[in-house]
Structure 1
Amino acid sequence: MKKIYCLLGLLVLVGTTQLYAQAHKTTSKSTVAGLSSSIAAGKKVYTLHCLSCHMADGGGVANMNPPLIGTTYVLGDKNKMIQIVLKGFNEGVEINGDTYTNPMPAQATLTDQEVANVLTYVRNSFGNKASAVKAADVKKIRASLK
């Protein structure tokens, strides 16, 4: 009888492990698909609203519009990036020894999802690798700005 219980326990353990592995694999695939989808949608928003100042390669315009490549603004606190997009930015900033003074207009007309997508695109393009921005993150920051 002990052998049957042991065998049954082993079968349950193996089955549970396989179910967990399958669920984890599905979650990982859906996360990657979600990130890819957000980046693709963000590229469209970037092309319409950001490209003219920050350029197709994210390099910006010398002494006017800052680059989006490897900067602490892009790779750092995503809440600050959300605020910049929603409120605009009108401060001089030094990046890599160059000073940028051209004001960035607020993009508050973008939806929460559009802001999340474009920031996810920027944070994962031009050689950048940073966490995704979610629409819920944008919604929370937008509410705090009112």
Structure 2
Amino acid sequence: MNKLKIVVLLTATSVGAMAQTKKPAPKLKANTVSASALRSSLERGKEMYATYCVTCHQTDGGGVPNLNAPLIKSSNVVGDKKKLINILLKGMQGIDIDGESYSNVMPSASYLTDQQIADVLTYIRNNFENKASAVTAAEVNLIRKSK
């Protein structure tokens, strides 16, 4: 009888421990970026954009109707940073953004470093008529680790 109680107790303890180990969704803290760090990030981000993004999203960030989403005042760009970071890390296909459908595949850019992703997203979030907070490498790293 005592052995049965021990097994039940161990099972209950194990289930409780498993429930506690589930990773909560990462929360991004408000970041403060110095003016010089922001300028450097924007410069690097502009180069990253020219290398990896301009072909689909165009020089002006306008995208291609029904194929590649525009970056101009897009809710995906100026909205939740976690969502935007995940788009770069995981890629996407066949999505509706602000009432429009886009069918081209956006491949994952997870091969880029956290800093490179932060730089290009900071650039995008502060160009093409957008004005939004910078993305930091620490934020990208937090989202990457939570996958």
- After TM superposition, the score normalised by the length of structure 1 is 0.76
How far apart, in 2, do the equivalents of 1:85 and 1:33 lie? 25
Q: Pick the structure with greater CA Rg.
A: 1
SS in 2 for 1:89: coil
Q: Which runs of 5+ in 1 are unaligned?
A: 1-27
Where structure 2 has 5 or more consecutive residues not aligned to the other structure, the ranges are 1-31
Q: Aligned letter for 1:114?
A: Q
Runs of 4+ in 1 over 4 A off after TM superposition: none
Partner of 2:47: 44
Matched AA of 1:47:
A
Tell me the C-alpha RMSD between the 2 structures: 1.5
- Pick which of 53-62 and 97-106 moved more: 97-106
- 2:135 is the alignment partner of 1:133: yes
CA contact (8 A) 2:119 2:135 kept: yes
**What are the Cα deviations for residues 115-134 of structure 1, in whole angstroms up to 9, with x where unaligned?**
00000000000110000000
Show CA shifts across 1:30-65 (max 9, x none).
Answer: 811111110110011111111100001000011100
Residue in 2 that maps onto 1:62: 65
Higher helix share: 1
Q: Secondary structure at the match of 1:59?
A: coil
Match of 1:123 in 2: 125
Does residue 83 of structure 2 align to residue 80 of structure 1?
Answer: yes
